C-alpha cells in the first residue's frame, strides 16, 4: 500500500493519532493465551514480534523497551509515521526495533524472521479484500507454530445503528473543499446540524444521535481515518474467525479482558441461552448479540491450544503472573465491570493488598497465600481473574517488586531517557517497564521526583516507580 496506491482505499493524506495501546503488549497477549488454555510463554527467552500497520509505532517502541531481549518489527506505508517512529526510538535509545516503510505486499517479499507475535490494530476494517488477503498471507507465512495474532476490528451487531453515519460523513466530506482535516470538520459540523429529532433516522436511532455528539470529542485526524477511507467494512466475528482459520489459526480469546468472562458482560439468562446453542460458532456469534458488541480485539493462535487444554486450565492459570500498577491500597472492594459493579469481601481485598505489596506474583502463589479454612481455592482464582478483567490487577511479564536500591540510578538507560523526555516536554508519557512487560504511564510530577532522587541524596525514592522496577 503505497501512499499513492488508491485501490486499497486507505487514507494516506493525514497521519493517524499517536496513541499507546496496552493490549498490544506480549505480556497482555500471553495472559489472553493462558485464559484460552495455552501455557504462558517464558519471557526470559528471545522472541520476535511484528506490528502490521503500526502508525507511529508508539506501542511497539514501548514494548521493545520493556523486552530488550526480543526483536521487534514495525511496518507502515506512510513515511511520516515511520520517520516519527524511528525518531522516538532513537530519542529513547531503543535499538531492537526494525522499521519498514513498506506496503504489506512489499513486506511479503522481504527477508524477515518468523514471528511469535503478530499484531494488527485498526487495520482490518479499513482496508479492502485484496489487502486483507495479503495480511492473511503474511500471517500464514510468517507466524511461528504456537504464535499469537492480535486482530482488532469494528463488528456487528453493535455498529448496526451507526453504520449509515459513515456513508453520510464520507459524502459530506467529498462535497466540502480543502484539506482532509478541513473537509472532515465541515462534514462533522453538518452532521451535527442534521442529527436532530426532525430526521426520522435519528429519532428512531438514539445511538446514532449519541455517536454524532461523541464525534465532537475525537481528534479530526482520528475521525478521518475512522470514516473517510475508500474502504470501510464492519465484520461479524465468525467471519473473521473463518478468515483466520484459513491461515491455520484458532480463536483463543479477547484482549478486552472482561469479554472472556460471561458473568461480567451478560446476565444469567443470556449466558444460559448461549450455552444451550449446539456449537461453538453459534455461541461465539450469539455472545456479540448478547452484549451488542461493536469493537473486538481478538487473539488467535497458530494451531490448536496445547493439548486441547480446557479453557481456564488450572495449571496454566497458576503460572500466569499478575500484579498492581497503582498503589495496592487502591485495590477496592468494588470494581466496575461491563454489567455494572462487582463487590468483593473486605477481608479478602485486605489480604490481597498485603500479598501484592511484595510485588507481582504467579496466580498460583497468590492463591496459596490467600487460601485457608474459610476460602476456596477455585473462588480465589475466579476473584483474581475478575479483578484482572476489571483492571484492578494487570498481567505482568515477571514476578517481582522492589529491587535493591543500593545505587541511585534508573533501571536502564532507556528509562532514564524516557523520564528526561517527560520532564523536558512537561507532559506525561508511557515508560517501558520490564517487570510489567508493558508501558507505565508516568506523570510529570513523578518524573520530576525521579530526577531529584537520581541526583539528590536527600530526595525520597518515588515509591510507585520503585515497586515497578523502574528505579
79: enclosing H helix or E strand: helix 79-92
Q: What is the pLDDT of residue 400?
A: 87
Place of cell 489480604: 351
429: enclosing H helix or E strand: strand 429-433
Q: Which residues contact 272 (CB under 8 A, 6 or more apart)?
A: none
Residues 233/125, Cβ–Cβ less than 8 Å: yes
DSSP annotation of 400: B
First-to-last C-alpha distance (Å) of the chain = 42
Cis preceding-peptide flag for 157 (omega within 30 of 0): yes
Distance of CA 232 to the CA centre of its chain: 21
Q: What is the pLDDT of residue 5?
A: 42
Q: How far is CA 165 from CA 228, 335, 447, in A?
A: 11, 34, 42
Residues 411/428, Cβ–Cβ less than 8 Å: no
Q: Where in the chain is the domain with CATH 3.40.50.150?
A: 22-157+234-308
Q: The C-alpha cell of 459 is what?
A: 530526595
Residue 179 CA to residue 45 CA, distance in Å, equals 48
* Residue among 257, 373, 266, 378 nearest 322 (CA): 257
Place of cell 530526577: 451
Assign domain 22-157+234-308 to its CATH architecture. Answer: 3-Layer(aba) Sandwich (3.40)
How many other CB atoms are found less than 10 A from the CB of residue 370? 19
* Residue among 35, 46, 31, 55 nearest 120 (CA): 55
> Under DSSP, is residue 141 helix (H, G, I), strand (E, B) or coil?
helix
Residue 2 CA to residue 104 CA, distance in Å, equals 9
Q: What is the pLDDT of residue 4?
A: 34
Distance of CA 205 to the CA centre of its chain: 30
Q: What is the pLDDT of residue 308?
A: 43
* Residue among 10, 1, 8, 2 nearest 180 (CA): 10
Task: Compute the half-sphere exposure of residue 445: CA atoms within 13 Å on the CB side of its CA.
Answer: 2
pLDDT per position as a tens digit, 166-213: 999 899 999 999 988 888 999 999 999 998 889 999 999 999 999 999
What's this model's pTM, rounded to 2 decimal places? 0.93
> Under DSSP, is residue 282 helix (H, G, I), strand (E, B) or coil?
helix
Which residues of the chain register pLDDT less than 70? 1-16, 305-314, 402-408
Task: Compute the half-sphere exposure of residue 371: CA atoms within 13 Å on the CB side of its CA.
Answer: 12
Residues 261/385, Cβ–Cβ less than 8 Å: yes
Q: What is the pLDDT of residue 100?
A: 98
**In this structure, is the dihedral angle defined by the CA atoms of residues 140, 123, 126 and 292, taken in order, positive or negative?**
positive
Q: The C-alpha cell of 200 is what?
A: 426520522
Residues 433/410, Cβ–Cβ less than 8 Å: no
**In this structure, is the dihedral angle defined by the CA atoms of residues 344, 348, 354 and 356, taken in order, positive or negative?**
negative
Q: How far is CA 287 from CA 40, 237, 260, 265, 340, in A?
A: 26, 10, 10, 9, 18
* Residue among 406, 409, 413 nearest 450 (CA): 409
Place of cell 517481582: 400
pLDDT per position as a tens digit, 364-382: 999 999 998 888 999 999 9
Place of cell 456513508: 167
> Under DSSP, is residue 386 helix (H, G, I), strand (E, B) or coil?
helix
Detail the DSSP E strand segments found in 140-248.
143-154
Cis preceding-peptide flag for 315 (omega within 30 of 0): no
Amino acid at each position: 500500500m503505497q501512499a499513492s496506491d488508491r485501490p486499497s482505499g486507505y487514507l494516506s493524506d493525514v497521519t493517524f493519532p499517536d496513541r499507546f495501546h496496552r493490549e498490544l503488549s506480549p505480556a497482555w497477549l500471553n495472559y489472553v493465551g493462558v485464559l484460552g488454555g495455552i501455557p504462558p510463554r517464558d519471557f526470559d527467552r528471545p522472541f520476535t514480534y511484528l506490528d502490521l500497520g503500526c502508525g507511529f509505532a508508539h506501542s511497539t517502541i514501548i514494548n521493545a523497551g520493556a523486552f530488550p531481549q526480543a526483536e521487534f518489527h514495525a511496518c507502515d506505508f506512510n513515511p511520516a509515521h515511520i520517520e516519527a517512529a524511528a525518531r522516538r526510538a532513537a530519542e529513547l535509545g531503543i535499538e531492537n526495533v526494525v522499521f519498514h516503510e513498506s506496503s504489506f505486499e512489499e513486506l511479503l517479499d522481504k527477508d524477515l524472521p518468523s514471528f511469535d507475535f503478530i499484531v494488527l490494530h485498526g487495520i482490518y476494517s479499513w482496508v479492502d479484500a485484496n489487502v486483507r488477503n495479503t495480511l492473511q498471507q503474511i500471517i500464514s507465512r510468517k507466524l511461528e507454530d504456537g504464535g499469537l495474532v492480535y486482530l482488532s476490528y469494528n463488528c456487528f451487531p453493535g455498529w448496526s445503528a451507526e453504520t449509515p453515519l459513515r456513508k453520510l460523513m464520507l459524502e459530506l466530506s467529498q462535497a466540502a473543499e480543502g484539506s482532509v482535516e478541513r473537509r472532515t470538520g465541515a462534514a462533522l459540523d453538518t452532521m451535527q446540524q442534521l442529527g436532530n429529532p426532525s430526521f426520522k433516522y435519528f429519532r428512531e436511532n438514539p445511538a446514532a444521535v449519541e455517536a454524532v455528539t461523541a464525534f465532537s470529542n475525537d481528534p479530526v485526524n482520528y475521525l478521518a481515518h475512522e470514516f473517510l477511507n475508500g474502504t470501510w467494512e464492519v465484520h461479524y466475528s465468525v467471519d473473521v474467525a473463518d478468515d483466520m482459520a484459513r491461515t491455520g489459526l484458532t480463536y483463543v480469546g479477547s484482549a478486552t479482558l472482561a469479554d472472556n468472562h460471561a458473568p461480567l458482560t451478560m446476565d444469567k439468562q443470556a449466558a444460559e441461552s448461549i450455552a444451550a446453542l449446539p456449537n461453538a460458532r453459534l455461541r461465539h456469534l450469539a455472545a456479540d448479540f448478547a452484549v451488542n458488541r461493536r469493537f473486538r480485539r481478538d487473539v488467535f493462535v497458530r494451531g490448536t491450544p496445547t493439548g486441547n487444554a480446557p479453557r481456564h486450565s488450572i495449571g496454566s492459570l497458576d503460572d500466569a503472573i499478575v500484579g498492581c500498577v497503582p498503589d495496592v491500597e487502591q485495590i477496592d472492594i468494588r470494581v466496575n465491570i461491563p454489567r455494572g459493579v462487582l463487590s468483593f469481601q473486605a477481608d479478602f481485598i485486605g489480604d490481597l493488598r498485603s500479598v501484592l505489596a511484595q510485588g507481582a506474583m504467579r496466580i498460583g502463589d497468590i492463591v496459596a497465600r490467600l487460601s485457608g479454612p474459610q476460602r476456596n481455592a477455585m473462588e480465589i482464582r475466579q476473584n483474581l481473574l475478575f479483578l484482572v478483567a476489571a483492571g484492578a490487577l494487570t498481567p505482568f511479564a515477571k514476578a517481582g517488586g522492589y529491587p535493591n536500591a543500593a545505587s541511585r540510578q534508573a533501571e536502564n538507560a532507556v528509562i532514564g531517557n524516557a523520564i528526561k523526555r517527560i520532564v523536558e516536554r512537561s507532559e506525561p508519557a508511557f515508560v517501558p517497564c520490564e517487570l510489567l512487560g508493558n508501558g507505565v504511564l508516568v506523570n510529570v510530577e513523578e518524573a520530576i521526583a525521579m530526577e531529584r532522587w537520581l541526583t539528590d541524596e536527600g530526595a525520597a525514592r518515588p515509591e510507585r516507580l520503585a515497586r515497578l522496577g523502574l528505579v
